[in-house]
Each structure stands twice: as structure tokens, then as C-alpha cells.
Structure 1
Amino acid sequence: MDQFTKGTWQQEHDTLYLTSDKAAPKYIIQASKDTKIASGKILLVFAFNYQHVPYLVFDFSAHPAMDAMPAAKETKDGFEVLLDQPSYRHLNILHSMYDTAFFDYPLPPDVNKLHIAPGEGLGRLQFDREAFLISKEKLVSATNKDHLFIFSGKPPEAVSF
């Protein structure tokens, strides 16, 4: 798992609370009008490397479902999917390895091409005062006086000593 986060910690009695820094955007989406795309179609270009493509899920629906992404064609710009123009003008996208909810992107009018790239927040765990039990012995290793932390690895279910 390539999950990571940075933030601050605070100790209250025997509990350590972790709070991540503000999350960067998970996706960078650029919308445009392309005259080379057939009328009534929309082209999605996913600028992700191959290892991420199987985990991308998108839907044009008010209530998106976790269906597999349609077959994508690899090009020099990334992986492309050509679809019929959706009636619902919101792209809902998630990376099933990292995201817990769909990211909603409203489509501007007359758009027929979307370029979707990973943002800096992709794969970043979010702790919002996540509580972990600690002991005084374990706290000794957390010596940063500014209470900064860097977490890397698989997200823990819970940690107790």
C-alpha cells in the first residue's frame, strides 16, 4: 500500500490523537471542447500509469455505483475511454485502493473532453483526531517538539499497547 500522510499529534492522558494536514486535491481535472471528437460523444483521458488504471472507477450518475471501468485504450496521453454524452452532467470518480467516497466533478456546458490526472492527495491517508492508545514507553520515541508526524504504510485498524 502506498498510503502516507503528514500532520500533527497531540497526547491526552494515555491516548495519542493524529490529525493530518489539509488534504491536497485527489484529482486534477481539465475540461475542454475538442472538435475531433464525434458529436454526442465525450472522451475521458486518464493520465495515470498502468498500475493505477485497474483501480479507477467512474460513473455519470446521481448515485454512482462501484462498477468496473469500461475498457480503456492506451495512448501517448494516458488511457482513453470514449462514451456517449451523459445526461447527468457530473463525473463521479474514485480510486478504489485509496478513496472511500466518489469525488464529484460538475461538467461545464459543451464539454466533450476531460483530462483526469492524479493530484498530490491521491493515496494520502486522512487522520482527523484519530485516537490511538499509547504507553509512556512508546511515547518516548515521538521526540519532535512541534508534534509533527509522518505516517507511511498500511493504515492501521487500531494500535494498542
Structure 2
Amino acid sequence: MTNEKPTAESASLLLDEQLCFALYAAQRAVTSAYRPLLDGLGLTYPQYLVLLVLWDRGETTVKELASALRLDYGTMSPLLKRLEAAGLVRRERAAHDERTVRIALTGRGEELRERAAVVPGALLSVAELTGPEVARLREQLWQLAHRADAAAERAR
């Protein structure tokens, strides 16, 4: 294996050689593996991600939540409405600035945390990944995400 960067001329157009497709396929497979676990909690994968942020950080703004999840407001609004309708979160306008909407867990949302605690370990067990493999893969994916973000910023 060399450290040479691929050039436009050497890059393959074969589907199975595309990094983007491998990431896409892996993301779909992981989401599919999570589905039965999350169905038992009455959650979709994006709803689970919102709850992970709230369980970790506590009450937060929609803006902070969208930033943490790398989602736009158009995606966040219906997601939060469904979580609110399910009785898991509440949305409130900030007293100091009515444009700011704060999101907080309800008691029911807090209680769900205990049941959800098995989800990450169950997936890792099914995928047969070791702790070091998970740590290495996560680090590589974050590096890729940061580099791709930087490339996207340069292209703007």
C-alpha cells in the first residue's frame, strides 16, 4: 500500500471502489441493524440521536441540537414535533429571545434512557466488533468527516 494520493486520472469509476458508496452501504446497514432495537423503544434512528444529545447535555437550543447532529432546521422541526407528540421532549421559547427555542426531556424521555442503554452494546455485539476496532473506526470516520467538511468549505 502506498501513501500516494489518487489523482483524477487514477480514480476508479467502479461502484465497489467508491469510498462514498462503502460509507453509504455501511450507514444503511447500521441503521437497519438498529431498527429492531429502536422499534422496541418506539423510536426512529434520528429520534434516538436527538435523545442521545439531550441525555448527554440536558436542555439545549434547537440551534445547538442541529449543530451537534449536523442537521438543518428543516429536518429538526418535524423530528422535534414527533418527539414532542410522543411525550419525550418539550419545546419552549426562551424568555429573553422568542426566536430561540429550547428543547428539554420530559420525565418520560428521561425514563427511556435506561431502556436505551442496551442499544449501543447490542449493536456492537451483533457486529462482532471489539472495543479497539470500534475506537479505531470511529477515529478514522471523524477524521474523514472533518476533512470532507473542510473540503466543502473551501469549495464554497
The TM-score with structure 1 as length reference comes to 0.25
Radius of gyration: which is bigger?
A: 1
**Would you tell me which structure has more strand in proportion to its own residues?**
1
Higher helix proportion, which one?
Answer: 2
Higher relative contact order (CA 8 A, sep 6+): 1
